[in-house]
Amino acid sequence: MRVRSVAVGTVGTLVTLGVLSGCASDASSEAAPQVTVTVEAPAPTVTVTPAETAAPVDTTPTAEAGSDIQVAVEAFTTALDDLGIEYTEPVRAEVGLSGAQARFDMTINGFDSGINVFGDPDTLALWQETSDSLGGIHVAVDNSVLSLNSSGGIATSAEIAPEIAEAVGGEARGI
């Protein structure tokens, strides 16, 4: 038996085989009959079964947490106002992988910045270690940070971070 062609397509598989009869030799003058088989493959099925089902976790901020978040945002924006630093109003954003309880996007002096509010000091410390290892500039107070631009606006961020830290009673890092 000789395989003449094999083709694999998106919809199905087409296989064409040349079948030689019993004891026929290559010297035979008869052409070998061809058999064509078309198989349409079904769509693949993927089943995902969790190994363990965790109990639902309530991620809704409590009234107290909401108050802490608002206090942090107001502390930073008041400091920026008092220092005459231009900024856009903070807009609530997805927390993503930040570990923050709440995150806000904004611009400061025309550069992307943000406020992160963390639920506990350990999560804040982990975020700060990561920020420091990546060359980030931020101002930390209590369980919140004002993350300043550390790329295009790095010189401006390094200049204003200590001023903002002093105004909020916090610490400037990455300068």
Write down the pTM of the prediction.
0.62
| Same-domain pairing of 85 and 130 | yes
| pLDDT for position 29 | 45
| Same-domain pairing of 79 and 163 | yes
In DSSP terms, 18 is beta-bridged to 2, 34
pLDDT at 155 over 70: yes
pLDDT at 105 over 60: yes
| Same-domain pairing of 9 and 88 | no
| Same-domain pairing of 123 and 167 | yes
| Same-domain pairing of 30 and 72 | no
**DSSP result, 104-153:** EEEEETTEEEEEEE-SSHHHHHHHHHHHHHTT-EEEEETTEEEEEP-STT
| Same-domain pairing of 83 and 151 | yes
Question: Which residues form the domain of 124?
Answer: 63-173
Of residues 100 and 30, more confidence is placed in 100
| Same-domain pairing of 23 and 94 | no
Residue 30 domain-assigned (yes or no): yes
10 Å Cβ neighbour count for 65?
14
| Same-domain pairing of 67 and 145 | yes
| Same-domain pairing of 83 and 32 | no
Residue 58 domain-assigned (yes or no): no
Q: In the chain, pLDDT over 70 holds for what percent of residues? A: 62
| Same-domain pairing of 105 and 24 | no
What is the count of structural domains for the chain?
2
| pLDDT for position 151 | 87
Residue 45 domain-assigned (yes or no): no
| pLDDT for position 66 | 61
